[in-house]
């Protein structure tokens, strides 16, 4: 399968929370999109692995992605080891994405910043001819860093106003993380995803406002952006 866009993240639900709107928008444009979850999210505070995989399948459908897979890295122990880099390079060679979305390289959660390094180095290795592995060498053309979890000024923002409702549905598909069993309702366990969903919605609103639309998702590129037509540029200055 050949993908146009592949989003790589540490845990199932990271992609929905940080760049789900962009994936929906690109799928609606006719691009072939995909998601690679590095871990199965087995350290999540709620829900069994079976529930979580059902939830991820539901979210996947809502995002309109053509492919979703798990690399099988242990949750809470994401490391950019040689073994995982080679495994990831194998997936890149198979899917041949033109553009890859990675988490920003600085984060509070070690899984998130390690996912960024593992993703970048896996993409790099995939293009090495001499690599002792199957498949035609392939290196993605573009790497975008999703900065939704990071306190950093993005390079650009994608308008997701029309995709926002669908993105919400995809996030809420992870129901076991939102609706604890009665017995657990009074537990003081921190419900990360509840807070995250709320925060991500506020962030989408904030970054939308920054470009003069209702909702947006922020990204950063290491390289500069090239512009052909300075008269047709969007986003009002004054
Ligand atoms: Zn995560």
Four-residue CA torsion sign, 145, 151, 156, 162: positive
Structure tokens that stand for 10 in this block: 């540490």
pLDDT tens by residue, 166-208? 999 999 998 877 765 555 555 555 556 777 788 889 999 999 9
Measured distance between the N- and C-terminal CA atoms of the chain, rounded to whole angstroms: 45
Q: How many CB atoms are located within 10 Å of the residue 48 CB?
A: 11
Q: How many CB atoms are located within 10 Å of the residue 53 CB?
A: 16
pLDDT tens by residue, 71-90? 999 999 999 999 999 999 99
pLDDT-derived band at 44 (thresholds 50, 70, 90) equals confident
What confidence score (pLDDT) does residue 147 get? Answer: 97
Name the pTM for this structure.
Answer: 0.93
How many angstroms is it from 208 CA to the middle of ligand 1?
23
3-class secondary structure per residue, 40-108: CCCCCCCCCHHHHHHHHHHHHHHHCCCEEEECCCCCCCCCCCHHHHHHHHHHHHHHCCCEEEEECCCCC
State mean pLDDT over 210-235. 97
How many angstroms is it from 75 CA to the middle of ligand 1?
9
How many angstroms is it from 136 CA to the middle of ligand 1?
31
How many angstroms is it from 77 CA to the middle of ligand 1?
12
What confidence score (pLDDT) does residue 175 get? Answer: 81
How many angstroms is it from 18 CA to the middle of ligand 1?
10
How many angstroms is it from 63 CA to the middle of ligand 1?
18
How many angstroms is it from 134 CA to the middle of ligand 1?
30
CA distance 224 to 81: 30
What confidence score (pLDDT) does residue 81 get? Answer: 96
How many angstroms is it from 15 CA to the middle of ligand 1?
9
CA distance 166 to 170: 6
pLDDT tens by residue, 88-144? 999 999 999 999 999 999 999 999 999 999 999 999 999 999 988 889 999 999 999
Residue 102 bridge partners (DSSP): 145
Helix (H) or strand (E) holding 206: helix 192-210
Helix (H) or strand (E) holding 115: helix 110-125
3-state secondary structure of 161: helix
The rounded mean pLDDT for the chain is 92
What confidence score (pLDDT) does residue 185 get? Answer: 53
What confidence score (pLDDT) does residue 35 get? Answer: 98
How many angstroms is it from 137 CA to the middle of ligand 1?
29
How many angstroms is it from 99 CA to the middle of ligand 1?
21
Ordered strands of the 67-70 beta sheet = 67-70, 33-37, 5-9, 99-103, 142-146, 216-220, 156-159
């Amino acid at each position: 399968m050949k993908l146009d866009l592949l989003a790589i993240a540490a845990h199932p639900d990271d992609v929905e929370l940080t760049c789900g709107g962009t994936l929906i928008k690109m799928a609606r444009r006719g691009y072939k999109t995909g998601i690679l979850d590095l871990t199965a999210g087995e350290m999540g505070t709620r829900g069994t692995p079976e529930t979580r995989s059902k939830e991820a399948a539901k979210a996947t459908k809502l995002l309109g992605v053509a492919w979703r897979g798990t690399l099988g890295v242990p949750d809470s122990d994401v490391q950019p080891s040689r073994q995982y880099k080679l495994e990831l390079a194998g997936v890149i060679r198979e899917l041949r994405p033109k553009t890859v979305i990675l988490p920003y390289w600085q984060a509070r959660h070690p899984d998130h910043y390690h996912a960024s390094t593992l993703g970048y180095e896996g993409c790099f290795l995939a293009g090495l001819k001499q690599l002792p592995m199957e498949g035609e060498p392939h290196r993605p053309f573009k790497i975008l860093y999703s900065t939704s979890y990071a306190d950093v000024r993005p390079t650009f923002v994608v308008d997701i106003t029309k995709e926002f409702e669908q993105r919400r549905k995809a996030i809420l598909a992870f129901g076991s993380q939102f609706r604890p069993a009665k017995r657990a309702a009074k537990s003081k366990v921190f419900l990360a995803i509840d807070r995250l969903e709320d925060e991500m919605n506020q962030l989408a609103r904030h970054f939308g406002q920054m470009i003069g639309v209702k909702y947006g998702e922020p990204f950063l590129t290491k390289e500069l952006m090239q512009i052909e037509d300075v008269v047709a540029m969007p986003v009002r200055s004054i």
